[in-house]
Amino acid sequence: MPESIPESILSAAQMPSTHGRPVRKDEIELHDRGVYIESWLPERRTRRKPLLFVHGELAGSWVWERYLGYFAGRGWEGHALNLRNHYWSQTADPATLSFDTYTEDVVAALDRLGPTTVVIGHGMGGLLSMKAAERVAIGGLVLIGSVLPRDLRVPARAFDLREIPEAYGKSVIGWETLPERLLRDERDLTLADVLRIQHLLGQKPHEAGAARRQMLSGVPVDRRVLAEVPRLVIGGGLDRSVTLNESERLAEWLGAEYEPFGAHSHYGMIVGEDSHQQVAEAIRAFLDTNRL
């Protein structure tokens, strides 16, 4: 991986479509938590519900740029959360953070945006979204390649948990490797997508090991709080983190709608230059059907 990536490649990989409609950008800072939320808003206010996007391990609001452009251009205000110590949020010692502190970040964002907010979570962000919904009312839930709750997973072995460092980087999730190898595994991504993801996942370990240990041990979720909430689960056939079968089991467990995308990878579902749009359109149909 080269130390510097040509600006032309990075810029080509971050040009979200707004469907030609005016969009303005804003920000929300939760100063007491050191949390920054990137907001993309339609130029004119609509009756549509606000969307809160929650990222997964080692990521940040950058993974949602194409979604922010897509939905703002169609009338939805989108707010992409950066968990503490991620991307534009305040730097913190990973040893002081955990799945619980991340959940608090999501709850704080929802408190700010209001109870009609639709939460869209990816990977760890999906599990965080389910857990936050136990604490605060939400208007809808979309889970993309979501980490499974305790009821659906076999807890990790004690040995594996001990191997997780207090802070870890992209090597733990398989992204510290040659771009050519990633292109073979993540076939729905372009080279520009792969280079940008590798670059923005971080240059040094910064994810909280405690959060990963909690997830692998199994985080309990009370699905009863979601019984009256419109919910959609999306899975990718090329997802090496969460299989299609696991996503389908999650949908059945939640009593949620289920949309499988057999040719989509974990990041391709939200970042892929071409592949993200199919998933975004499925989410848009879900939002329209449920008048969100």
The two beta strands, 118-122 and 51-54, are: parallel
> Is residue 218 within 8 Å of 246, Cβ to Cβ?
no
Q: Which pLDDT tens digit goes with each residue over 139-181?
A: 999 999 999 999 999 888 999 999 999 999 999 999 999 999 9
- At 69, the amino acid letter reads G
Question: Which residue's entry shows tokens 């606000």?
Answer: 50
- Cα 255 to chain centroid distance, Å, stands at 21
Q: Which pLDDT tens digit goes with each residue over 51-108?
A: 999 999 999 999 999 999 999 999 999 999 999 999 999 889 999 999 999 999 999 9
3-state secondary structure of 53: strand
Q: How confident is the model at residue 15 (pLDDT cuts 50, 70, 90)?
A: very low
Element containing residue 231 per DSSP (H, E): strand 231-236
- At 158, the amino acid letter reads A
Element containing residue 167 per DSSP (H, E): strand 167-168
- At 178, the amino acid letter reads L
What does the block give as tokens for 87? 């991307």
Closest by CA position to 51, among listed 283, 289, 229? 283
Q: Which pLDDT tens digit goes with each residue over 240-262?
A: 999 999 999 999 999 999 999 99
Percent of all residues in the chain with a pLDDT value above 90, rounded to a whole number: 85
Q: How confident is the model at residue 45 (pLDDT cuts 50, 70, 90)?
A: confident
3-state secondary structure of 209: helix
Closest by CA position to 211, among listed 97, 58, 81, 55? 97
Q: What is the CATH number of the domain that holds 77?
A: 3.40.50.1820
> Is residue 179 within 8 Å of 198, Cβ to Cβ?
yes
Q: How confident is the model at residue 43 (pLDDT cuts 50, 70, 90)?
A: confident
The two beta strands, 231-236 and 118-122, are: unpaired
Domain assignment of residue 46, yes or no = yes
Domain assignment of residue 34, yes or no = yes
Q: How confident is the model at residue 18 (pLDDT cuts 50, 70, 90)?
A: low
C-alpha distances (whole Å) from 235 to each of 78, 144, 158, 163 are 22, 6, 28, 28
Domain assignment of residue 58, yes or no = yes
User: What is the number of domains present in the chain?
Assistant: 1
Enclosing domain of residue 126: 7-289
Domain assignment of residue 1, yes or no = no
Give the chain's mean pLDDT: 91
Domain assignment of residue 2, yes or no = no
